[in-house]
Amino acid sequence: MKKIFTLIALGLLAVSCAKFTDLKPKGKNMLSSADDLELLLNIDYDSFNRQLDLFHLTGDLMCNNSNIANMIASPTPTRWSILTLWDESNIDKLPEMTAVDEDYNKFYGYIGKIANPILNSIGMGFTTGDESKIRQIEAEALCLRAWSAFLLVNKFAPAYNPATAASTPGIAFPMEDEGYVSAYSQWTVQKVYDQIVADCTKAIELNSLPVQNINQMRWSKACPYAIKALALMGMQRFDEAETAAKESLKVNDAIADYWSSEYTRALMPFMPPFEPTMVTTRKPLECEEDLFHTYSELTFGPLLTPECENALERGHSAMTRMPTDFMAFHHMLTPGFSMGITSYGLPYPSIGSMGTGANESWNTYGLKTTHQYLIVAECEIRKDNFSVAMDYLDAIRVKRIDPAIYAPLKGAVSDKARAIECLKSTALGENVYSVFNFIERKRWNQLDDMKETITKKFAISDKEYNYSLSPDSRLWTFPFPVNVVDSNPNLTNNI
Percent of the chain having pLDDT more than 70? 82
Q: At what angle do helices 102-110 and 131-156 cross, to 10 degrees?
A: 160
> How far apart (Å, rounded) are the C-alpha atoms in residues 478 and 55?
13
pLDDT at 22: 38
* Phi and psi angles of residue 221, each rounded to the nearest 5 degrees, phi first: -60, -30
Tell me, yes or no, whether 480 lies in a domain.
yes
Tell me, yes or no, whether 18 lies in a domain.
no
Contacts of 336 (CB under 8 A, 6+ apart): 346, 347, 348, 349, 350, 351
Q: Do 106 and 152 share a domain, yes or no?
A: yes
Q: Do 308 and 234 share a domain, yes or no?
A: no
pLDDT at 415: 97
- Alpha-carbon radius of gyration of the chain: 25
Picking from 218, 248, 474, 461, the residue whose alpha carbon sits closest to that of residue 347 is 461
Segment among 35-39, 261-265, 325-329 with least mean pLDDT: 325-329
CB 306 within 8 A of CB 59: no
pLDDT at 12: 43
CA dist list (Å): 256 to 92, 109, 117, 375? 43, 31, 36, 18
Highest mean pLDDT among 67-71, 124-128, 403-407 belongs to 403-407
Tell me, yes or no, whether 248 lies in a domain.
yes
Helix (H, G, I), strand (E, B) or coil at 14: helix
Q: Do 228 and 282 share a domain, yes or no?
A: no
pLDDT at 99: 95
Residue 267 has pLDDT above 60, yes or no: yes
Picking from 286, 54, 27, 63, the residue whose alpha carbon sits closest to that of residue 181 is 27
Please report the sign of the dihedral spanned by the C-alpha atoms of residue 46, residue 47, residue 53, residue 56: positive
Mean pLDDT, rounded, for 258-279: 79
pTM metric for this prediction: 0.90
Tell me, yes or no, whether 404 lies in a domain.
no
CA dist list (Å): 249 to 131, 150, 224, 476? 28, 20, 12, 30
Exposure of 269 by Cβ count < 10 A (0-12 exposed, 13-18 middle, 19+ buried)? middle
Q: Residue 129 has what DSSP assignment?
A: S
pLDDT tens digits, one per residue of 82-102: 999 999 999 999 999 999 999
- Amino acid 29 reads N
> How far apart (Å, rounded) are the C-alpha atoms in residues 494 and 480?
8
Q: Do 104 and 241 share a domain, yes or no?
A: yes
pLDDT at 339: 42
Q: Structural domain of residue 211, as residue ranges?
A: 26-50+98-253+475-487
DSSP calls for 337-406: IIIIIIIISS--TT-EE----TT----SSSEEHHHHHHHHHHHHHHTT-HHHHHHHHHHHHTTTB-TTT-
Q: Which of 353, 373, 390 lies at the terminal end of a domain, its last residue? A: 353
Q: Do 178 and 268 share a domain, yes or no?
A: no
Residue 348 has pLDDT above 50, yes or no: no
Q: Do 118 and 228 share a domain, yes or no?
A: yes
Contacts of 180 (CB under 8 A, 6+ apart): 27, 112, 113, 116, 174
Q: Do 243 and 277 share a domain, yes or no?
A: no
Tell me, yes or no, whether 229 lies in a domain.
yes
Helix (H, G, I), strand (E, B) or coil at 35: helix
Task: Please report, for the domain that includes residue 224, its CATH number.
Answer: 1.25.40.390
Pick left, alpha or beta for residue 78 (phi over 0 → left; psi -120 to 50 → alpha; otherwise beta): beta
Tell me, yes or no, whether 437 lies in a domain.
no
Count CA within 13 A, CB hemisphere, residue 379. 23
DSSP calls for 234-252: HTT-HHHHHHHHHHHHHH-
Mean pLDDT, rounded, for 466-475: 97
Burial 147-166 (b: 16+ CB within 10 A, else e): bbbbbbbbbbbbbbeeeebe
Q: Do 199 and 283 share a domain, yes or no?
A: no
Q: Do 220 and 282 share a domain, yes or no?
A: no
pLDDT band at 309 (very low <50, low <70, confident <90, very high): confident
Tell me, yes or no, whether 293 lies in a domain.
no
Q: Which of 353, 375, 396 lies at the terminal end of a domain, its last residue? A: 353
The bridge status of strand 186-188 relative to strand 169-172 is antiparallel
Q: Do 109 and 152 share a domain, yes or no?
A: yes
CA triplet 232, 238, 242: central angle to 5 degrees?
85
Q: How many domains does the chain have?
A: 2
pLDDT tens digits, one per residue of 371-397: 999 999 999 999 999 999 999 999 999
CA triplet 83, 84, 86: central angle to 5 degrees?
65
CB 283 within 8 A of CB 216: no
CB 354 within 8 A of CB 298: yes
Q: Do 283 and 164 share a domain, yes or no?
A: no
Percent of the chain having pLDDT more than 90? 67
Picking from 349, 320, 355, the residue whose alpha carbon sits closest to that of residue 335 is 349
Tell me, yes or no, whether 387 lies in a domain.
no
Q: Do 213 and 181 share a domain, yes or no?
A: yes
> How far apart (Å, rounded) are the C-alpha atoms in residues 128 and 39?
14
The bridge status of strand 367-368 relative to strand 352-353 is unpaired
DSSP calls for 37-105: HHHHH------TTS--HHHHHTSSEE-----HHHHHH-SS--HHHHHHTT-GGGGGGHHHH-S--HHHH
